[in-house]
Amino acid sequence: MKDKHGIPDMNLLVEQYKILYDRKGRTERFTSKEELLKYKQTRQPYGHTSHKYIETFQSLIDELNPKSILDYGCGVSPLLDMIKNVEQKSWYDPALEKYNKLPKGKFDLVLCTDVLEHIPEDLLEEFWTSIQSKSDKAIFVISTRTAKSLLPNGRNCHETVKDTKWWLKRIKWMFGKSKLIEDKRFCNNGLDKQHAICIKNF
């Protein structure tokens, strides 16, 4: 997303998602899977799908044992509410008024689910620098295919569609390490059925 001078602009991107959330009618996160499913009986919200990775995340979190977690780009998903054995949980999403202030301080772990593919390649370093300011450890889930949804300006919601090797290389370049997670969900050479991958930077 670029301004009138052709300069990449994160604020313009955020404005597109503010419009998208308003159109879908849900701008606060669900606090349980049950609440989400009940809502979906009448209307399809935007930004709610990260909870489907709960088993993968819970397994990694049980192994790492973090005391604090930040869900960076949380959307309206109940993911972090579903995660157990964590003392401090925080949420951030610049497109949602209730969560648009980046929490202060450091966290033991950042979760960033279904977000990176929405960031134009020109803005990835800026985005990752913000994550680095919050934690040395991050886990990313990234879609490797185009989205079904479009932004209000007509662009595909997935701005950066790349394969597994590309993401592993870029994350290692930014953070110093990248490791592909493979488990019973991400079992097709690290891909799941929706063509998503899970990568950690530690």
Find the radius of gyration of the CA atoms of the chain: 16
Confidence (pTM):
0.93
Q: Given this model, what pLDDT does residue 25 score? A: 81
Q: Given this model, what pLDDT does residue 1 score? A: 61
Distances (CA, A) of 79 to 56, 114, 121, 153, 177: 11, 12, 26, 29, 25
Report pLDDT digits (tens) over 10-42: 999 999 999 999 988 899 999 999 999 999 988
Report pLDDT digits (tens) over 162-189: 999 999 999 999 999 999 999 999 999 9
Sheet holding 88-92, edge to edge: 88-92, 68-72, 109-113, 138-143, 196-200, 179-180
Look at residue 51 and tell me whether its pLDDT is greater than 70: yes
Beta-carbon count within 10 A of 106 CB: 12
Distances (CA, A) of 167 to 23, 45, 117, 128, 198: 31, 28, 10, 13, 10
Q: Which CATH superfamily is domain 10-200 in?
A: Vaccinia Virus protein VP39 (3.40.50.150)
Residue 69 has φ and ψ, to the nearest 5°, of: -135, 140
Q: Given this model, what pLDDT does residue 41 score? A: 84
Look at residue 56 and tell me whether its pLDDT is greater than 80: yes
What tokens does 129 get? 């620098």
What ranges do the domains of the chain cover? 10-200
Report pLDDT digits (tens) over 61-111: 999 999 999 999 999 999 999 999 999 999 999 999 999 999 999 999 999
- β-bridge mates for residue 143, sequence order: 196
**To 5 degrees, how large is the angle CA 194–CA 170–CA 166?**
50
Look at residue 126 and tell me whether its pLDDT is greater than 90: yes
Look at residue 8 and tell me whether its pLDDT is greater than 80: no
